[in-house]
Structure formats: structure tokens, C-alpha cells
Chains A and B, each alone.
Chain A
Amino acid sequence: NAGVTQTPKFQVLKTGQSMTLQCAQDMNHNSMYWYRQDPGMGLRLIYYSASEGTTDKGEVPNGYNVSRLNKREFSLRLESAAPSQTSVYFCASSEEAWSGQPQHFGDGTRLSIL
């Protein structure tokens, strides 16, 4: 009964390095999301995938890319990390396609960029 699983939980990068954040859900949900959470700002949508095979930009997509590898997995890639991307990243999913309303969240990836 894992729900939404994110890896890694913590990561420290140097400016300019690249990395991929992994997310998988085992609930057969159609929609998946990537958010970032910064102090005092709530959550902001980076990218989402309304159904398998589709991805769309959210509010703050610059500097990120995503891949909906299959129905279970939705990864987020930072090609050239910048200090402004230091944040806590959350993956989420929802049963309905195109709903825009995440139901289940992972526990987050805490990313620091030096």
C-alpha cells in the first residue's frame, strides 16, 4: 500500500549538475504532477501529465523537463541545476484524467543546490 513513492528523499547538487527525480504510483491513477514548495509560498505546479503519453507545463516550468515513462512513473529532470531550484519537490497523482486536482502526494524530495 505504498501510494506515491519519490526517490531520492534528499539530494545536494553543485550548480550546473544534472539529476532526475523519480516518482512512481501504484494506484493506477491517470494524472500525475510535479510541484515545488518554497517557504511561505505554498505549492507551485511545475509540470503535469493529465494522462499517459501527455505532459504539459504548469506555473513554473523553466529549467525543468519531465517524462511520463508509463502510467506508473513520472520523472522530473534538472538539466543544469541552479541555486534558485533549491526547494522541496512533491510528486502527486489523481485518479481522474485531466482533473488538475491531486489526491495523493509523495513525501517529497529535499533538494539543495550549492
Chain B
Amino acid sequence: AQSVTQLDSHVSVSEGTPVLLRCNYSSSYSPSLFWYVQHPNKGLQLLLKYTSAATLVKGINGFEAEFKKSETSFHLTKPSAHMSDAAEYFCVVSSYGGSQGNLIFGKGTKLSVKP
């Protein structure tokens, strides 16, 4: 069975410092993995996705994530935080064992950015 664990429910950084949001996954299949961002009172926006090509995936707004099979991790990073990055971030694994392409969402990590 597939599952995803976001290791921090809340991360706080200062503007201009690096961002690290941690995600571990469990999957019986070769997984597809995603990061989505949700700004307050908005829907989710796809940041990036991994689908078994390059292990380092670049996304929008300067974010990237590295797929590490040996560590079953897919951590999201950004070299320098901006105030506009303050939002909630969801790590997601795609399950092909049940409903076609059903996504399993982590519980979210709320990122705060201090000036």
C-alpha cells in the first residue's frame, strides 16, 4: 500500500534563507511523486512531479525536489525563501493499486516566512 509522511507540520524560515520541507513515502510500485502548494483560501497548484526520469526535479518558483529511493524520501528545497512562499505544501504519491491514478496526500506542511 502507498502512503506519504510529511515530517514537519510547520516550518518557519527567514526571508532569504534556504527552505527544506521533508517528505517520506512508502510504495509497493515504482511511484510517481508530487509537491503541491496551497495559498490561503485558494486551490492547490502543482509545483513539480517525479515520474521515474531524472531524480532531481525542478519546479516552478525556484523549488526543486530530489527523489532518493534508498531513503524513500522526496524532500522539497529552495535556496532562498521569499515572503510569497508562505503557504501550505503537500507531498503526494500516486497510487496505481486501486482507483486509476489515485493520489494519496500527506497532511501538509505550513511554511511561514519571516521578514
Q: Which residues of A contact B (CB under 8 A)?
A: 4, 40-45, 48, 50, 56-59, 90, 92, 98-108
Which of chain B's residues have a CB closer than 8 A to the CB of A105? 42-45
Contact B99 A45 (CB under 8 A): yes
Which among B12-20, B61-69, B71-79, B104-112 touches the partner chain? Answer: B104-112
Which residues of chain B are within 8 angstroms of A4 by Cβ–Cβ distance?
43
Q: Is B35 an interface residue (CB 8 A)?
A: no
Asked if residues B101 and A43 are in contact (CB atoms below 8 Å), the reply is no
Shortest B10–chain A CB gap in Å is 12
- Is B94 located at the chain interface by the 8 A CB criterion? yes
Main SS at interface, chain A: loop
Do the beta carbons of A45 and B100 come within 8 Å of each other?
no
Complex Cα distance, B90 from A90, in Å, reads 15
Given contacts A107-B41, A107-B42, contact A101 B49 (CB under 8 A): yes
CB neighbours (8 Å) of B101 from chain A are 98-101
Do B99 and A56 have beta carbons less than 8 Å apart?
A: yes
| Chain B residues, Cβ within 8 Å of A101 | 32, 34, 49, 94, 101, 103
Query: Cβ of B46 < 8 Å from any Cβ of A?
Result: yes
Q: Interface 1/0s, chain B 19-35, versus A by CB < 8 A?
A: 00000000000001010
A44 contacts B32, C-beta separation under 8 Å: no
Question: From residue A24, how far is it (CB to closest CB) to chain B in Å?
Answer: 14
Complex interface: chain B residues within 8 A of A98 (CB):
100-101
Pick from A42, A50, A99: contact of B90, CB below 8 A: A42
Residues of chain B within 8 A of A58, CB atoms compared: 99, 102
Please give me the residue from chain A that is nearest to B44 by CB atom.
A105
- Given A40-B107, A41-B107, A101-B94, decide whether A59 and B44 contact each other with a Cβ distance below 8 A: no
Contacts of A50 in B (CB 8 A): 100
What is the chain A residue whose CB lies nearest that of B45? A105
Contacts of A48 in B (CB 8 A): 99
What residue of chain A has the Cβ atom nearest to residue B105's Cβ?
A42
Contact assessment for A90 and B94 in the assembled complex, using a CB-CB cutoff below 8 Å: no
**Residues 40 to 97 of chain B near chain A (Cβ within 8 Å):** 41-46, 49, 90, 92, 94
